[in-house]
Amino acid sequence: MAMCNYFCLTTYLRSLLAPGGLMLILEGTQNSRLQMITVGFIEGFSHFEDERLQSNLPLLSVEQWQVALGGSSFEKFVAFPASGLATEVLGQHVMVARAPSFVKRFQPGELRKYLQQKLPEYMVPSAYTLLDGLPLSANGKVDRRALPSPTSMRPELAIHYVMPQTESEKLIAAVWQDVLKLEKVGIGDNFFDLGGNSLLTVQVQSKLSDIFQRELSIVELFTFPTIQELAQHLSEPSAPIETAPTKCNSTIYHVGKTAQTVPDCLVPLQSQGDGLPFFCVHPLAGVVFPYVELALIWGHNQPFYGLQALGLNSGETPLTRIEEMAAAHIAAIKTVQPQGPYRVGGWSMGGPIAFEMAWQL
C-alpha cells in the first residue's frame, strides 16, 4: 500500500478517537517471500514486485508506521517486541499510538453538509456540542437535564460571516443574538439556519416592531430571512412584498411584474420551485406556524403558502363567517396563481375553510 494511503487511513482513525485516546495495531511488519506469495494468490500478483526493488511492498516496517502515525499527529508511539529482541524475527508487531489531547473529532461545517444530504432541512441541527460521554440517570437512561446547553457561538455555515454595517443591520442583529442566544450573527445568515423556529419568530416580530416603530408582519420575516434582506426592506417601508415566480400549467406568473403584492394573510413559507403551489389554511389559532415544518419536509421544489387569519395585524378587521374567510383567501391565492387547478388544504378549522374555498372555486 502506498504511504499516502496509510496517511489517509491513520488520519481517519485518529478522527475516531477521543482526545488522548489509544490505538492498538497488530500488523505484519516484514515482507517475506512466503508471505508475499500467499497474499499474491489471494489478491493477485499484478501489483507486487521483487522485494529487492523495495518500492511497492504490501507491508510497512515499524519505522514506516511510526512516520505515518507521526504525520497524522499521533503524539506517542511504541512497538512490541522492541528492536533487537529475538521475537522480532517473527515479523509481527503490536503498535500503540496515542492521539493528541487537542483532537477535534469532527468539523461541524462538514457534518452539517453531510446531514443536509441525508435529512430534511428542518431535522439538521443548528448547533453541536462535543461530549466525552452522555450523562446517565440512576436507571441507566440518558439524563436530559444534565446535558449542557448548546454553545452560544455562531454555527459553522456554508456562508462566510459578515458583520453588520448599517444601523438597521446592527439593531436586527442584536435582536437575533438575544432571541437565538448567540454571541454574533452575520448579515447573510438565515434566521432558520441559526436555529430559529416559529415560536422565536414571534419574539423577533414583537421586538423589531417596537424598535422600528412600525407593524412588522410574519410575512416579512419569512420573505426576508436574513439580516441584510430584512434591513434593506425596512429601509423602504412602502415597498411591496413580492414572491418568487411560480410555475403553474406551463405558465410562469411574475407577481412583481404585474404590480400585484402578496396580501398579509398569504405567508410564503416556501415560494421557490416548479411544482403546483400548495395553499394551507390556518387552524383555530389563526397562525400558520404549525405548517413551517411541513413546508420544509416537502423540500425546496414545492411552493408552499400558508393562509393566516385576517385580523392578526393591526388595522385589519377579523372575519367571522367561513364564507367570507374562504372568499378572502381565494383572492389572496390568485395574486400568486391566477388560474387553477388549485391545491388547497387545512388542519383543524382550516379544513372547513379549505372545503368552502373548493366550493367557491
Q: Which residue bears the cell 469532527?
A: 106
CATH number of 115-234: 1.10.1200.10
CA distance 240 to 266: 13
> Percent of the chain, pLDDT > 90?
10
Work out the average pLDDT over 139-157.
73
Q: How confident is the model at residue 126 (pLDDT cuts 50, 70, 90)?
A: low
Q: How confident is the model at residue 343 (pLDDT cuts 50, 70, 90)?
A: very high
Beta strands in the chain (DSSP E): 22-28, 76-80, 92-98, 246-248, 251-253, 266-270, 278-281, 304-307, 343-346
CA distance 22 to 100: 10
Let me know: does 221 contact 205? Beta carbons within 8 Å: yes
In CATH terms, the superfamily for domain 246-360 is Alpha/Beta hydrolase fold, catalytic domain (3.40.50.1820)
In this chain, the answer to whether the domains covering 115-234 and 246-360 adopt an identical fold is no
The listed range with the strongest mean pLDDT (13-22, 28-37, 149-158) is 13-22
Q: Does domain 3-98 have CATH number 2.102.10.10?
A: no
Whether this prediction's pTM lies above 0.85 is answered by: no
- The domain limits of the chain are 3-98, 115-234, 246-360
Mean pLDDT of the residues in the chain: 75
